[in-house]
Structure 1
Amino acid sequence: MKMLKRIAIGVVGVGVLAYLAVLGVLYLFQRDFQYDRSGRMFELSETLLTNAELVNIPSADGSTVTGWYAPPGPGKPVILYFRGNAQSFSREHERYEQFVQDGYGFLAFDYRGFPGSPGEVTEENILADALAVYDWLAAKDFPILLWGRSLGSGPATYVASQRDADALLLETPFISAVAVAADRYGFLPVGFLMADQYPVEQWIKVVEEPVFVAHGTGDTTINVGHGKRVYELAPVKAGLWIEPGADHSGLWERGLWGRAKAFFGRR
């Protein structure tokens, strides 16, 4: 019996040590798990964006962020696009090509730490970059439409809570990044571990712009319940589109741009 007790204690001890080791690794390397900074930034010459230009926008602490900008056609607004988590903003150039084809201007960029913009990726830096880019664009005196996709729903909502834009579109948003982590790793104390939590559920409550939310029921990256909750919290509700079966990257192919144009056209 004593031997069995010792073995049981040893097994429990090993389990505790293994659990603590997992917590330590996740804490130390959390941003490597949270952000996908792989890939490269495309050249404009690889796209159909013949009227766009490469821009370097000053941000906090003397840093700069790199993006693409194209002015709008007569009487049209500019879409300020906050990209998702994966690789460079430039990989979504087909979206920007469609914006321009329909007369909209756009500004899209890489947050610090992603392929096009040097620096350290943190929530603080991403939010500072988002405000700096908005302010740079606002100086051009065009109407501004905010579009936040996935991770970008965080800085897009934050900017809307701090600045005056014409509309806010959120594609596959989360109520917070820590809530997404809790969905996946409920056995871990992610609320204590995560440094970059993006509390969209707090920011959205003070957003005065009209809000349109799009999400898919087949999204296994950010559960559709997040999008529904964000929309519930929006003070100015302007549309909720829940597409049956659409996954995290499937809304564009399911007609998101058409719905976005209808939303923007009401502004």
Structure 2
Amino acid sequence: MSGMGLSFSELCCLFCCPPCPSKIAAKLAFLPPEKTYDIAEEPEEPGKFKLVLNDKAEWQYSEREKENIEVSFTRTTRGSRIATMFVRCSPNARFTLLHSHGNAVDLGQMSSFYMGLGSRINCNIFSYDYSGYGASSGKPSEKNLYADIDAAWNFLRTKYGISPENIILYGQSIGTVPTVDLASRYEVGAVVLHSALMSGMRVAFPQTKRTWFFDAFPSIDKVSRVSSPVLVIHGTEDEVIDFSHGLAIYEKCPRAVDPLWVEGAGHNDVELYNQYLDRLRHFVAQELTN
């Protein structure tokens, strides 16, 4: 969720002529990277696809381990054809993470991370690319973001038969926006909000105290409707989404568990701290099973 700086003239325009939410969203959030993968249809098995990674994906495992990744497509209610990825990390996993990734990455770049994370916390991982990201069609927008996760949720439940109580919604940075929206409408096994933002305007203008009608991503107004257990994770030195956002989100969650505040961590390095994996393991293996 980088690239949020606004020029003086743009600040004046925001105050003098408030833009529509989609324009705030486009300015503050969406930075689709150059695609790092393709999804190719198997010539002898129509309807079955394989993952083709390029060098920029930086795959860290063997070709054999890539066989544990299943890719496909699903269609959203707004017409986008979005790419999906199911990573089978553990044969005895009870939970599947529905992961909504951060900005400026795609499924190819996330594939190695998913393989490592899932194997370490004993979860399978299902993810998708937002409209306009990776192999997904369409253009990024706030409305598409919500339609994208709805399509992913329905696909995970119907194609893979995963029950809601066995799904952990995990959102990171911009990915917390669709995660909170979905979690406010469905009860699931649990929710993880990693580097969450209160709203777009509150990121651009830290002194904002209310949600304006033209604001985008108003997660702070939705999170109180999340009925599932929520683990909030945030770096105390986050330079993109200030730590205060994590605190405010945590305080609004009706069923928040003990949060993970990572001392000294910024926006993109929380995963490098030992307590990150330790906290997730405990959350999955202890708090959600007792």
In structure 2, relative to structure 1, the CA distance for the partners of 1:248 and 1:78 (3 Å cut) is same
Q: CA deviation at 1:97?
A: 1.1
Q: Say how many residue pairs are matched.
A: 247
Aligned positions of 1:85-104 closer than 5 A: 85-102=103-120, 103-104=122-123
**Stretches of structure 1 lacking an aligned partner (at least 5 in a row):** 1-14
Q: Is residue 178 of structure 2 the alignment partner of residue 155 of structure 1?
A: yes
Which structure has the greater CA radius of gyration? 1
Alignment match of 2:278 (pick from 255, 258, 261):
258
Q: Is residue 156 of structure 2 the alignment partner of residue 133 of structure 1?
A: no
Aligned mates of 1:88, 1:23 — CA distance in 2: 36
Aligned positions of 1:1-267 closer than 5 A: 19-20=12-13, 30=24, 31-42=26-37, 44=51, 46=53, 47=59, 48=61, 49-71=66-88, 72-102=90-120, 103-139=122-158, 140-142=161-163, 143-183=166-206, 191=212, 197-255=216-274, 256-265=276-285, 266-267=287-288
Aligned mates of 1:231, 1:18 — CA distance in 2: 29
Pick 1 or 2: higher relative contact order, CA cutoff 8 A, min separation 6. 2
In structure 2, relative to structure 1, the CA distance for the partners of 1:183 and 1:16 (3 Å cut) is closer
**Stretches of structure 2 lacking an aligned partner (at least 5 in a row):** 1-7, 39-50, 54-58
How much is the aligned-residue C-alpha RMSD, in angstroms? 2.9
Q: Is the 8 A contact 2:93 2:123 kept in 1?
A: no
Greater CA drift, 251-260 or 145-154 = 251-260
Q: CA deviation at 1:246?
A: 0.4
TM-score (norm 2): 0.76
Give the counterpart letter for 1:176 in structure 2.
Answer: S
Point out the structure with the larger helix share: 1
TM-score (norm 1): 0.82
